[in-house]
Amino acid sequence: MSSTTELVDSDILLTPRPYALVPSKFILVPLLPEPTQLPKLPAETWHRILAVAFDSCDRSLIQDIAWERDILLVNKLFNTIATPLFFAHPLIRTLDKFIQFSGLINSRERKPRALDRIPYSTPGRWVHVLDLSKIPCQSGHDASLIDDAMANLFPALPFLSTLLLNQISLSRRTIKSLIGSPNSAGLRTLCGVRDHAPSLVELDGDLSSYDDPILDLLRNCTNLEHLDLVGNGVRDDEMEVYTEEPNIPTVEHLHLPNLRVLSLRSISSSGLFLALASSPLPSLRSLTLSPYGSLAFPASLAPLILANHGGKLLSLRFDPQPSFPPSHHQMPSTVLQSCPNLTYLSLANPLPMLHITQLHPLQCLSVPKPTPMFLKEIERVLPYLQNLKFVRLRETRWLPSTMNSHARATGLAGEMGQWKRRLGARGITVLDANGRISEW
């Protein structure tokens, strides 16, 4: 009777045969414990979680882009937290999208704000990175639309720290808008700006009337850490040889104490180049130049910038821009002597002879394609490059191991194999364009 009483007094009973002569009852035993109410995370914690998630997104993948939009629709809390993160680095790939984005920012800026203590409107004050490098600019009309939209947009982006352009020329109106905006002093990265300033050859070395708005912009962007400028190359009439002693004109120095990465592509000589080459850049560690080292001053300022800043460099790249007919300017052969602390060096065709007389800490050397002549040059200077660990062939790729031995021993693949065998015997790894080692 006691057991029957316990069954009857139980909370949950199962009666599988209720109409049987002797019905049985079973106690329902829970398999899982009772759920406990989880504590709610504070908004600050969710902000840190979502910030890490947004930073880890790959914006080249469609699913990641869709995830950023979908996260705004989860709930009201996520929408409030993720909206500033979404506008911090807007994805803009077409001209129409950029014009819509500029119109949205300006319309919000013109609206009266309830709280006058907030000097800037949303979403303009949320934008930290403006990447326009993917926008195709196929005509002068497109460039004019982009330039006009930027001129109206810059004053409404007070906390802009990174500006990436698609190698377009900025008008004076746009540059003055950027100089007068509150974000000029906070700009950290400026890339893809095209400079049309005349060269020193055109100016005949006289900088008294030199006026470059980009130079004025750099005088205001004192906190720049990464600068990338693109020029128009060298004209044929600027390639004459100068036999007289060069008279370097004086130019006012720039104050860029935090500049770490500098790229001057297709720029051989200009007042802006001279200002950067002559200014003290104490934090400069990475430099990218076009290979105009074979030209003398004033046609090229590459030897001057290497002489003044080469001792601080850890990375040096010579990046020739595509041109027709292709240029055949060589790099200075004394690059290793001018840059005694380099750990990474990227060369371009035609490959120079390397003059070196003392030990050098170079660790990685990058060349376009393997040639028998430059392999002998590397072997000649190897006694001075005892730290060299990698040689990268950035325009070639290893053949897969499925190819037969005859295919791997002929042509460019055969030359790559020769580099692998001869440099591998010295403890140097040969990498292809993808950074992979050979599979065979």
**Sequential DSSP letters for 381-417:** HGGG-TT--EEEETT--PPPTTS-HHHHTSHHHHHHH
Confidence tier at 328 by pLDDT (50, 70, 90)? low
Q: What is the pTM of this model?
A: 0.81
Calpha distance 70→79 (Å, rounded): 10
Helices and strands (H and E) in the chain: how many: 15, 13
Write the DSSP string, 375-391.
HHHHHHHGGG-TT--EE
Calpha distance 283→260 (Å, rounded): 5
Average pLDDT over residues 12-36: 74
Helices (H), 221-301: 271-278
256 in Cβ contact with 277 (< 8 Å): no
Q: Which is higher by pLDDT, 4 or 47?
A: 47
pLDDT of 240 higher than 60: no
CA 75 to chain centre: 34
Helix (H) or strand (E) holding 85, with range, is helix 76-88
Confidence tier at 62 by pLDDT (50, 70, 90)? low
315 in Cβ contact with 293 (< 8 Å): no
DSSP bridge pairs for 315 = 286, 344
Calpha distance 289→292 (Å, rounded): 8
Rounded percentage of the chain residues whose pLDDT exceeds 90: 26
User: Which among 62, 94, 81, 96 has a CA at the least distance from the CA of 126?
Assistant: 81
In the DSSP assignment, the letter for residue 433 is T
Q: How confident is the model at residue 61, as a pLDDT? A: 66
Q: How confident is the model at residue 317, as a pLDDT? A: 93
Confidence tier at 64 by pLDDT (50, 70, 90)? low
Q: How confident is the model at residue 353, as a pLDDT? A: 87
Confidence tier at 38 by pLDDT (50, 70, 90)? confident
Q: How many CB atoms lie within 10 A of CB 355?
A: 12
Q: Which is higher by pLDDT, 237 or 426?
A: 426
Q: How confident is the model at residue 8, as a pLDDT? A: 47
Calpha distance 221→418 (Å, rounded): 49
Average pLDDT over residues 295-301: 65
Calpha distance 249→404 (Å, rounded): 61
Give strand ranges (E) for 240-371.
Answer: 261-265, 286-289, 315-318, 344-346, 364-367
217 in Cβ contact with 175 (< 8 Å): yes
pLDDT of 244 higher than 60: no
Calculate the alpha carbon distances from 3 to 9, 23, 26, 30, 189 in Å.
10, 15, 12, 20, 80
Calpha distance 232→215 (Å, rounded): 17
Q: How confident is the model at residue 241, as a pLDDT? A: 47
What backbone phi and psi angles, to 5 degrees, belong to 46?
A: -60, -35
Q: Which residue carries 């990641």 as its tokens?
A: 64
432 in Cβ contact with 416 (< 8 Å): yes
Q: How confident is the model at residue 243, as a pLDDT? A: 43
Write the DSSP string, 203-248.
HTT--TT---HHHHHHHH-TT-SEEEEE-----GGG-----SPP-P
254 in Cβ contact with 229 (< 8 Å): no
**Span of 225-234, 347-356, 372-381, 404-413 with lowest mean pLDDT:** 404-413
